[in-house]
Amino acid sequence: MIGIMYVFHGSQKNEKNQAAMAFIKQLEKRLDPSLYQATAFLENHPDTIPSVAENMIKNGATKVIVVPVLLFAAKHALVDIPDELELVISNHPEIEFIQTETFGSKKGSRQVLLKRLQEVAASYPDEQLVGILVAHGTKQTDVPQNILTEIAKEIQQQVGFSIIPTSLKGQDDYLSDIKKQVSEHQKIVIVPFFLFDGYLITIMKNKLAEVFPTTEFIITRTLEFDPRILTDLEAIVNEAIQCIQ
């Protein structure tokens, strides 16, 4: 039997974790009902990767597909998830584990980000706008920033105004990137490229108010578990199933 383990980072707010599980329940209904599907969290939840994996194996899973429900392949996908799986794999060498790619570069996320900016443009037809696409970021690898830059260029061509890619914890200082765009001649639209509005978004908003006390920013919604992302995750899972069968 094939098991599908969806892995979220995990939020300090239980309602966000509940929303994550409800989101995955929608995905489970799209897939083969014979699959054993479950959700795990890296932090802030008792359903850890090892506990969920062990439960899958006890219930007959012989192959486990691990799906990081994360935007980009940074520390969590490249280091933390494999580390969490290490002991389970060593205890069950007969079980085949594979980990899929992340979903942030896929079509669904791009569509949601574009919609966020188009909504602002429609609300401010007479304003000169500049968009700031803000992701989590990492200093470990340039790949997420490169993807973010490519997405920003694609969206820029569609909305007709500049889109600046930056990250909260990337190589550069996101506040410096924003400061370069502050002008009385244009409004800054900040699009948080996050699955939901959590702790880091709150920190960002507080920091913006502190550093730019006289600047009014337009801050859009996050991806907010948009159903278009489900289509991308469904494709990722089905591709992995073809590889593992």
Question: In the block, which residue shows the tokens 């105004």?
Answer: 161
CB 189 within 8 A of CB 131: yes
The residues pairing with 188 across neighbouring beta strands, listed in sequence order, are 130
The residues pairing with 96 across neighbouring beta strands, listed in sequence order, are 63
Indicate where the chain has its CATH 3.40.50.1400 domain(s).
2-103+227-244, 107-219
C-alpha to C-alpha distance for 108 and 71, rounded to whole angstroms: 11
C-alpha to C-alpha distance for 227 and 103, rounded to whole angstroms: 13
Residue 33 burial (CB count, 10 A): 7
C-alpha to C-alpha distance for 56 and 229, rounded to whole angstroms: 25
pLDDT tens digits for the chain (245 residues)? 999 999 999 988 889 999 999 999 999 999 999 999 999 999 988 999 999 999 999 999 999 999 999 999 888 999 999 999 999 999 999 999 999 999 999 999 999 999 999 999 999 999 999 999 999 988 888 888 999 999 999 999 999 999 999 999 876 789 999 999 998 899 999 999 999 988 889 999 999 999 999 999 999 999 999 999 999 999 999 999 998 87
Q: What contacts 19, CB < 8 A, 6 or more positions away?
A: 196, 225
> String of b and e for 143-177 (b: at least 16 CB within 10 Å)?
ebbebbbebbeebbeebeeebbbbbbebeeebbeb
Positive/negative CA dihedral, 167, 173, 178, 181: negative
Residue 223 burial (CB count, 10 A): 22
Domain 2-103+227-244 = CATH 3.65.10.10: no
What is the pLDDT at residue 173? 85
> H-helix or E-strand containing 97?
strand 96-99
CB 5 within 8 A of CB 40: yes
What is the pLDDT at residue 171? 67
What is the pLDDT at residue 21? 95
> H-helix or E-strand containing 145?
helix 143-159
What is the pLDDT at residue 197? 87
What is the pLDDT at residue 59? 95
CB 165 within 8 A of CB 151: yes
**SS3 call for 211:** helix
Of the candidates 238, 245, 224, 240, the one whose C-alpha atom is nearest the C-alpha of residue 112 is 224
C-alpha to C-alpha distance for 132 and 188, rounded to whole angstroms: 7
Third-level CATH fold of 107-219: Rossmann fold (3.40.50)
Residue 40 burial (CB count, 10 A): 24
What is the pLDDT at residue 160? 94
What is the pLDDT at residue 140? 80
Amino acid at 189: V
